[in-house]
Amino acid sequence: MVVEKVINNNVVSARDESGKEAVVMGKGLGFGVKPGAVLEEKKIDKIFRIQSKSLTEQFKELLVNMPLEHVQISNDIISYASNTLHFKFNQSIYVTLTDHINFAIERYKQGINLENALLWEIKQFYKEEYLLGVYACDLIRERIHIELPEDEAGFIALHFVNAEYGTDIKEAVCFPKYVKDIVALVNEEMGIQMNQDTLHYTRFLVHVKFLLQRIYKKQLLKEDVNEWEDVIKHKYKREYECSKKVAGYLKDSLNTCLSEEECIYLAIHIRRVYDTE
């Protein structure tokens, strides 16, 4: 790989054999190196290939004054999430999470701890993402001996939610509240408390989260002729009416109108949860 620009002593911008840009990391990789030099492969620890030009520029700017260890920790967290849990993320995670990890460590050193008002909701409705946050805090403690509070695991979890949904982090902050409100609404309308230990409850949460994802990506199911529509409306009348209540909530909260197709599928998931009670 040929050096295009030295970002700092440990990070350079380079071009590979096909001429594509990459951000390359390695201890001392950029020290004394000039543009046009060929990088020694043995010094390369990590190659970041980010498809978006704007994200690449943001990432390079972010790394200028950042400790190498903080970048490595963030990359290892993302790799763990991708390889172990098989999560698929928007590449913005490399910018947002790396920035957050660095900022969280610096805040800790200054004795500043932020309270996460959504911690309960995150733990309840985004369990896998929360566990990634716990893993991140454990890794930080192991690598640099800093004990971040549990609230921080929740904040880190939201960055993974954001990367999964392809939204802005400010929007991701709202997702746990929306899920909580929808669960509460269904409980109230159906006169039940969902059994959180059932597979159907887990599937219901997954459906609701993917519904929110479709809303934000503007990929909602369209109106379609469904041979089961009349059957569901008649046989699962309460569940269908409940799904329409959820649709009303989403219209008020997100200015989004659910199609009949979306309401039918939601009614089916509500029925499955109800059947387990």
Question: Where along the chain do the CATH 2.30.24.10 domains lie?
Answer: 2-51
Smallest CA-to-CA distance from 177 within 257, 242, 118 is with 118
Q: How far apart are CA 210 and CA 233, in angstroms?
A: 22
Q: How far apart are CA 201 and CA 265, in angstroms?
A: 15
**In this predicted structure, what is the pLDDT of residue 258?**
93
Q: What is the pLDDT along the chain (277 residues), one digit of tens a residue?
A: 899 999 999 999 999 888 889 999 999 999 999 999 999 888 999 999 988 888 899 999 999 989 999 999 999 999 999 988 777 788 889 999 999 999 999 999 999 888 898 899 999 999 999 999 999 999 999 999 999 999 999 999 999 988 887 767 777 788 999 999 999 999 999 998 898 888 889 889 989 988 998 898 888 877 765 666 778 888 889 999 999 999 999 999 999 999 988 999 899 899 988 774 4
Assess contact for 107 and 114: CB atoms under 8 A. yes
Domain 2-51 sits in which CATH superfamily?
Answer: CAT RNA-binding domain (2.30.24.10)
Predicted structure pTM score: 0.79
Can you list the pairs that 141-146 forms with residues at least 24 positions away whose Cβ atoms lie under 8 Å?
143/69, 143/73, 144/69, 144/73, 144/105, 146/105, 146/108, 146/109
**In this predicted structure, what is the pLDDT of residue 167?**
67
At 18, phi and psi to the nearest 5? -90, 0
Residue 81 to residues 7, 86, 88, 98, Cα–Cα distance (Å):
27, 7, 9, 14
Question: Where along the chain do the CATH 1.10.1790.10 domains lie?
Answer: 68-172, 175-275
* CATH fold of the domain at 175-275: PTS-regulatory domain, PRD (1.10.1790)
Assess contact for 73 and 140: CB atoms under 8 A. yes
Q: Which two tokens stand for residue 49?
A: 């290939």
* Residue 257: Cβ-neighbour burial (10 angstroms; 0-12, 13-18, 19+): exposed
CATH number of 68-172: 1.10.1790.10
